[in-house]
Structure formats: structure tokens, C-alpha cells
Amino acid sequence: MRIASPIFWKDKQVLLTGHTGFKGAWLAFWLSQMGAKVTGISLAPSSTPNLFTLANIAQMTNSHFADIRDADAVSNIAKKAQPEIILHLAAQALVRPGYRDPLGTFATNVMGTANVLNATRGVNSVKALVAVTTDKVYKNLETGRAYKEDDQLGGYDPYSASKAASEIIISSYRDSYLAEQGVAIASARAGNVIGGGDWSEDRLIPDAVLAWDSDLPLEIRRPNAIRPWQHVLEPLNGYLVLAEKLYTDLSFSGAYNFGPKTNEAATVKTVIELANNAYGCGSVVWGDGTEGPHEANLLSLEILKARELLGITPRWNLTETIKLTMGWYQQQRSGVNAHLLCDADIAAFSSARKLD
């Protein structure tokens, strides 16, 4: 299992979009811990509490609150930062909010991605760019087959469609402009992430923690939906290793899946039962899968490419991931500093230490 290299990242100039979000805050923390010089572009945190504030990410980064839909703002920040590596995570990242605000979702995920790519043109310091999309970019026929990077793109719902569209834009900018400029570009398609420090709306584990901490039942709409669950550090490590490869070799450009082992995709019910056991309390009300707008019932990823080309293999299984995650929330609630909790998780991940 290849792990992100502190030697590589020390003093690297990095532009990170979405650094106030769940994954973005974790990534900003990890990069700063390795000595990278991080410039962040993001909206202000969308929840209270949030990891960006609790882990003091603003003190670790050159932080800009700006909207990636604002092409001029993105361009000006990129030119000033002169990054060597760009990691694009900023997005409207949820299916159900995408149904409520399709135009906002398309504006953020499609035009926002185009703005970041366009801002890269003419910034000659840039060597590598990783744009994060999602496992939901594939035309999901729910056949049970794990999707590979060369499978057909699609998108039933606005969120999925917006991310599939951003994949086409990434490919277009690579071919039309940035390969000629010497910028290696890859898209990263990650499965569902779990980890401490997520208080985002309409996400499974944050909803569970909020309900159980308030002594309320957790309502689950689709208990039998199957997803490729993974600890947040798994795909983040993949993004970092991918960027390291791209930095020196244009041939690593392309799309990459990051997820658990294909046979370890699991139902929502399994995740919640493990989480409930690890948390030690809380009730659950199981739905019948008919509530709300359409969401896929079955999705899994083939991760062979990341394993063979990048040396990336999953480190923690689902039981370990959930145990670590629920313990993070419980320790944070008891007063342990989020900075210390993140530092401990990264140290455990980097050392390949198994959980007790």
C-alpha cells in the first residue's frame, strides 16, 4: 500500500478548492502536516460544528472564501498563488440537494470545474491537477457489475449528471489546452466516504450521530441500498499519490476509481448496524426504500487501475472504518481536540496500524 510522501509534499505550493468541506478540511490538514503550502478556495463552512473550524484549518492555510462559480475570483487567486499542484474538491456533493436545486448544482459542478481548469491556463507553475468527481458518474444499470474507468458515463439525477458532465470538461481541457502546457490532469472517482468530522446535511453517519446524540430515532429511507463505503483517508491518500505521479509523468493522466475492495460494498443497513454497535446506543426506524426521489440501489467500483498503476489498496475494512469513525465523534464530544483526533487517524493510517 503506497502512502502519500511527506518528502514529496514538503514546501510544495498547492491550490486546494473546497478546503472548508469535510474531505477538503481533512486534505488541507494532511497537506499542512506534511509541510505543503496550501492556498484554499471555498465557500464558508456550511455547518455548525465543522471540521474546518474545529481543526483550525484557517491557521494552516492561505484561506480564501470565494465561490468557484466566480471565474474572475478563481483566476485571480490561482495567478497569485502560483501553485505547482491543484486539487479540485469544491462541489455541490449530494444527490438530494441536487434535486432541490438542479441549476445551482450544475453551475457549481460543471461551470465551477470549468472555471478551475480555465484558471490553470497560463499559470506555468502548475505541473499536476487532480479533479475529484464521484462514483456516480457512470450510467448505472444496477446489474451488479463493478464499474471500470472506461465504462459509459451517465447521470439519472442532477448531481450525477453534473459530475458526469464535469468529466467531459476535464477531458476537453486536458486535450485542448493543458497537456500542451505540460499539465498532467486526472479525475478521481471516489466511493462513499466515512470519517470523523463530517456534519454535512443528508449524510448517513452525521445523521446517525445527530439523532443518537439527541436521543432520537434515526430514520433510514433505503436500508438495502448498496454502496462502496470507505474511510475518508483512503481516497485522500489516493488523490495525493496520484498527484505525486502526475507531477513527473504526463502518462498518468486519466480517470481513476478509489473505493473498497469490490466484494466489500455493503448495504446501508449493514453500515448502520455496525455504527450503532460501535456507538453503543440509539434506535433506528427502517424505511421500505420508496421514500424520496430516485437514488440508485446498487453501485460498486472496480479499483484495479489504482492498485496496479498507483499501488493503492484499501487499508481499513468496513468494521475498522466505522469503529474508528464513531470513536472520533465520541472523543470529540467528550472534549478531545479535533486537531489531535485527525493527527491520530493520519498517523494510524500512515503506519498501517490495525485497530484494536
pLDDT digits (tens, 9 = 90+) for 317-351: 999 999 999 999 999 999 999 999 999 999 999 99
Convert the pLDDT of each residue in 229-268 to its tens digit: 999 999 999 999 999 999 999 999 999 999 999 889 999 9
> What's the sign of the alpha-carbon dihedral 215, 216, 217, 222?
negative
**Rounded Cα gap, residues 257 and 190, in angstroms:** 6
The fraction of the chain above a pLDDT of 90, given in percent, is: 90
Q: What is the pLDDT of residues 43-54, one digit of tens each?
A: 999 999 999 999
Element (H, E) at 86: strand 85-88
**In which region does residue 148 sit, left (phi positive, over 0), alpha (psi from -120 to 50) or beta (all else)?**
beta
For residue 5, give Cα distances in angstroms to 24, 46, 127. 18, 31, 17
The answer on pLDDT for 312 being more than 70 is: yes
- pLDDT attached to residue 202: 85
Of the pLDDT bands very low, low, confident and very high (cuts 50, 70, 90), residue 354 is very low
pTM: 0.97
Whether 243 and 260 have beta carbons less than 8 Å apart is answered as no
Residue 306 confidence class, pLDDT cut points 50, 70, 90:
very high
pLDDT, mean of residues 288-310:
88
Instruction: Count the helices and strands in the chain (H runs, E runs).
Output: 16, 13
In this structure, are residues 231 and 194 in contact, taking their beta carbons and an 8 Å threshold?
Answer: yes
Query: Alpha carbon 323 to chain centroid distance?
Result: 20
204 touches 272 (CB < 8 A) = yes
3 state SS for the chain: CCCCCHHHHCCCEEEEECCCCHHHHHHHHHHHHCCCEEEEEECCCCCCCCHHHHCCHHHHCEEEECCCCCHHHHHHHHHHHCCCEEEECCCCCCHHHHHHCHHHHHHHHHHHHHHHHHHHCCCCCCCEEEEECCHHHECCCCCCCCECCCCCECCCCHHHHHHHHHHHHHHHHHHHHHHHHCCEEEEEEECEEECCCCCCCCCHHHHHHHHHHCCCCEEECCCCCEECEEECHHHHHHHHHHHHHHHHCHHHCEEEEECCCHHHCEEHHHHHHHHHHHHCCCCEEECCCCCCCCCCCECCECCHHHHHHHCCCCCCCHHHHHHHHHHHHHHHHCCCCHHHHHHHHHHHHHCCCCCC
Band (187; pLDDT cuts 50, 70, 90): very high
**Set of cell numbers at residue 328:** 472520533
pLDDT value at residue 275: 96
The domains of the chain, with CATH numbers, are 6-350 (3.40.50.720)
For helices 268-279 and 318-333, angle between their N-to-C axes, nearest 10 degrees: 40
Q: For the segment 213-232, what is each residue's pLDDT rounded down to a tens digit? A: 999 999 999 999 999 999 99
Residue type, 273: E
CA atoms of 260 and 307, how far apart (whole Å): 11
Q: What is the pLDDT of residues 38-82, one digit of tens each?
A: 999 999 999 999 999 999 999 999 999 999 999 999 999 999 999
pLDDT of residue 352: 64
What pLDDT was estimated at residue 63? 98
How much is the pLDDT for 356? 41
- State pLDDT tens for residues 100-119: 999 999 999 999 999 999 99
